Amino acid sequence: MFKESIKLALSAIRANKMRSILTMLGIIIGISSVISIVSIGDSMRAMFAKEFENFGLTRAFAYVSYNTEDGFRESDYYTLDDLQRIKDVFGDEIAYISCSSSEQNEAIFGRNKLNTSYSGVETGFEQISQLEIVSGRFLSANDIFGCKYITVMEDNTALKLFGSTDVVGKSFRTTLHGNPAELAVVGVYHQEKSKFMQLMESMNSGEPTGNAIVPYTLLTYPNDSFFMVDITAVAGTNMNDFGERVKQYIAKLKDRQPDQIVFSSAADEMNMVDNVMGGLAAAVGAIAAISLLVGGIGIMNIMLVSVTERTREIGIRKALGAKTRDILAQFLIESAIISALGGIIGVLFGFGIVAIGGAIAGLTAVIRPIVVILAVGFSALVGIFFGLYPARKAAKADPIEALRYE
């Protein structure tokens, strides 16, 4: 009897193709919206997770907060001696430590000028940042402590400023600390950048920009002081525990309370972004799911019309021996099939939206199978739930009254 009910349902859907398609439309829009929004949210979360992994999940920045009762003091700045003390105390737990120093000024070579960001780093930075040295060399300890006016330049920056990446040994003019300086290029590096980073850089300004690395001692001049420590723990470190111990030590070093020290790790930032993105995706997905309820109401409306139109058919079936549960199953199956078909089509539309959006934005689309299963299953349940009342109305119809219906 179940097969017979399916055949009758499909026959009724085929007999009213346009009406059935319009009825499915609400479900199609709802399912495609839910899948595309949740998938876009998951894709964004995966993209940000990848960015943080590239940056280094055990990388963090530590500094004395400006929001203290007695204000920020001159002694709250770090010195190179402070940096060495932190390095000595935490020893093997640290993969890399340096001051977080940077400066942005114009680089000049001949008639070419390029707004360039200079990052002050320590030896070993190329390893934690996954830089590929394509020519020349990276900074050495002698370069750092000798405070040499040299730089390792990004390959794209070299192309913009010199017109070539074969620039090792060449020099250019710039400004550091407001004073004229001449930097010699000792190396050229390449760093893979995600589509997101490329997009952010292109949105930064209409003017070309460049990146270059210099000894951090050049950027702590003239008093060897700086505001923030750039510290990377070894892989696998529990950053919560490590951060608390670093804060305790810096608080003692700077005569502060631990809660006045800010320790901001990439892992913390990633969790915060992940929570925000997950919450937004859930909220917007829930709003999109409302269209499923609208689609369900549409199914109920059409099924009520269908019951009214087929009142005589119901009477004939009952007169021929069809039981109440048979009539109930017939109309429930019909509403469930309409809803499930709408769900399947909605899934396909959702896949298409995510694939096209990912291709345009340069993102890898993430579609969780569980979301698809839940979406299709929920759409079928919507069909059954909203088809229940019309089905019960049809099943309880009096066969004599139904046969008299014109």
**Cα torsion through 291, 294, 299, 300, rounded to 10:** 150
Report if pTM > 0.85.
no
Q: Please check whether residue 245 lies inside any domain of the structure.
A: no
Domain end marker among 185, 204, 226: 226
**Domain end (from 226, 244, 261):** 226
User: At which residue do the structure tokens 């901001």 appear?
Assistant: 264
Q: Whole domain around residue 39: which residue ranges?
A: 2-51+277-404
- Predicted confidence at residue 53, as pLDDT, reads 67
Q: Residue range 107-126: average pLDDT?
A: 91
Q: Are residues 203 and 316 in the same domain?
A: no
Q: Say yes or no: 296 and 355 in one domain.
A: yes
Residue environment code for 66-75, b if the CB has 16+ CB neighbours within 10 A, otherwise e? eeeeeeeeee
212 domain-assigned: yes
Which has the closest alpha carbon to 34: 372, 352, 402, 339? 372
| For residue 307, pLDDT beyond 80 | no
Residue 144 within any structural domain of the chain: yes
Give the domain-ending residue among 201, 226, 251. Answer: 226
* Helical (H) or strand (E) element with 175: strand 171-176
257 within some domain:
no
CB-CB contact of 103 with 229 (8 Å)? no
Q: Does the residue 354 lie in any domain?
A: yes
Query: Is residue 343 included in any domain, yes or no?
Result: yes
The model's pLDDT over 75-103, given as tens digits with 9 standing for 90+, comes to 888 888 898 899 899 988 998 998 888 88
Confirm whether 93 is domain-assigned: no
Give me the phi and psi of 346, to 5 degrees please: -65, -40
287 and 397 in one domain? yes
Could you give the number of structural domains in the chain? 2
- Check whether 20 has a pLDDT greater than 90: no
pLDDT digits (tens, 9 = 90+) for 378-388: 777 777 777 77
- Please state whether beta strands 229-233 and 171-176 pair in parallel, antiparallel, or not at all (unpaired): unpaired
Q: What is 224-266 written as a DSSP string? A: TEES-EEEEEPTT--HHHHHHHHHHHHHHHTT--GGGEEEEEH
Residues 281 and 400 in one domain: yes
Task: Determine, yes or no, domain membership for 295.
Answer: yes
CB count, 10 Å around CB of 64?
Answer: 21
